[in-house]
Amino acid sequence: MGGSEYDDALHRLALWVRHLLLPVYGREVTSATPWCTSWWKHPEAVAQLYGLWMAWHDLTGPDAPATGPATWHRDHLGHVMNSLRDPSGPFAGCKAGTHRAKEAPGMDPYPG
């Protein structure tokens, strides 16, 4: 996904995060549970939140089974939020209102 398709999907994801995920599941930000208010600048966060959002659509939509919401909570929500909010997760180093990009680990050139 790229270009305008990516921009549109990110816009829709941001609406879901702002109006459903954070008000209902956000919990307080502490040094032990960081959050970046510019989460969309963290590729790992975007990937995980997008997957969470897609699962939410699949498991809570009109064609979802009655147990879909419970399945979403059990199989998706906790894992993603714990991963994102982990002190060494993608938001490590971000403080309230301040984004700090994480440096990806390096790799030596492959000799082959």
Over the stretch 3-34, which tens digit does the pLDDT of each residue have? 889 899 999 999 999 999 999 999 999 989 99
| 87, 31 Cβ separation under 8 angstroms | yes
Instruction: Specify the pTM.
Output: 0.88
CB-based contacts of 68: which residues, under 8 Å, 6+ apart? 58, 59, 60, 61
Judge whether residue 1 has pLDDT over 70: no
pLDDT for the residue 32: 93
Q: How is the chain split into domains, by residue range?
A: 40-91
Long-range contact pairs involving 28-33 (C-beta distance under 8 Å, separation at least 24): 29/96, 31/87, 32/87, 33/85, 33/87
Judge whether residue 2 has pLDDT over 80: no
